[in-house]
Amino acid sequence: MRVRIKRVGYDDPISYTITREEVHVPAVSWGILENNIGYVIMDRVARNAAREMNEALGELGESDGLIIDLRRNPGGFLDESLMLADLFLAPGATLASTVQRVPGTSADQPDTESYGDRWPIQVPRLPIVILVDEFTASGAEILAGALQDYDRALVLGQRTFGKGVVQTVMPLPHGRRLRFTTGSWLTPLGRSLQRTRDRQGVPVPEVIDSLPRVTTASGRSLVDGGGIFPDLQIQDDTLTLLERDFLRASNETQFPLGLRIAEFGFEVAASRRAEGVKPYVEESEFETFVSALQTEGLGEDFLGTPEIRRYLLWRTELATAQRMNDIAGEAEIRTQRDPVLSEAILLLEATSTQEQLFALIESRNARLNNGASYH
């Protein structure tokens, strides 16, 4: 198709011929950290995510450990989720199951369907740590739950979102459709992924110690209460009060801070790529960036503080690494403010097998004197 674009500096519209093509945006990115630990980021369960993960495992199979980052992964295609779990578990294993109503039957006669593993395991001896948070949902929870149930991965972070309903679509006249809930997704050990919420979608408060539990083949006790409970709960790093005020002020004035950081990261990434070096931001580049923010109207009272300048430098370095597709560099920068990723690296550095990982966490949890907790 041909389009015409009117651009500043040109008297007449500029004509372009655009060819429509299918654009595939990868869901999986990966790299090797300096300590020979593989790091995989999967931001969604998109079509071909399992194929991309298989490619990643082929390159990371000789590493000393593997981190799979599922934080902020909202899920996606359920069949891809099952194929992803299939890569890590032995043939014959149950990947997940559903319990749902069948038309014409009563609620106390649900239909159960299981989904089994078919393909050989790809990395049978590689110790694995999975990172999750409260935004990990749906298909990503299926993957994390399957590997946790089979003692195939240690889960770190925060309790996941808890989205595990089976929905059925009923066609209606005039092209309309009605979608309603008919069942629930379960992990291999029968844990429900669906978390109880009120009418506003807010999770119902629970006494965690009162929730039912299941036991894995190795004897580990896992909570069954909706969502995936991490083996070791770690809170993400939070913004300081000054950083919150800074971001709130930029939002209230509708200042495009995120866009400016992304644009700056793109420019710096081009320079670092041409130099053939790792991602970093030169002091002169950063000062020019801060001056541009001030000129555009962002408050000097914030930009003049060391705390906000450190925060902005971290954001710009991270944006540079992301633009360079340097996963190892991105991870190194993230660990400055990411206690979950930092802990995963430390755990894999201290162990060499999955069993050692579990033993280390078990001994750590045993030393904690926790009472009943509410989440």
Q: What's the burial of 85, exposed, middle or buried (CB within 10 Å: 0-12/13-18/19+)? A: buried
Decide if 95 contacts 115 (C-beta within 8 A): yes
Residues in the chain: 375
pLDDT value at residue 372 = 43
Question: Structural domains in the chain?
Answer: 28-233 (3.90.226.10), 241-334 (no CATH)
Report pLDDT for 19: 85
Q: Tens-of-pLDDT digits for all 375 residues of the chain?
A: 889 988 777 888 888 888 887 777 899 999 999 899 999 999 999 999 999 999 999 999 999 999 999 999 999 999 999 999 999 999 999 999 998 876 655 555 567 889 998 889 999 999 999 999 999 999 999 999 999 999 999 999 999 999 998 888 889 999 899 988 888 999 999 999 999 999 988 999 999 989 999 999 999 999 999 999 999 999 988 899 999 999 999 999 999 999 999 999 999 999 999 999 999 999 999 999 999 999 999 988 999 999 999 999 999 999 999 999 999 999 999 999 999 999 999 999 999 999 999 999 998 888 765 544 444
Q: What is the pLDDT of residue 237?
A: 87
pLDDT of residue 105: 58
If you search the block for the tokens 């020979």, which residue do you land on? 36
Closest CA to 93 of 148, 54, 133, 47: 148
**pLDDT value for 108:** 59
CA angle 63/41/155 to nearest 5° reads 75
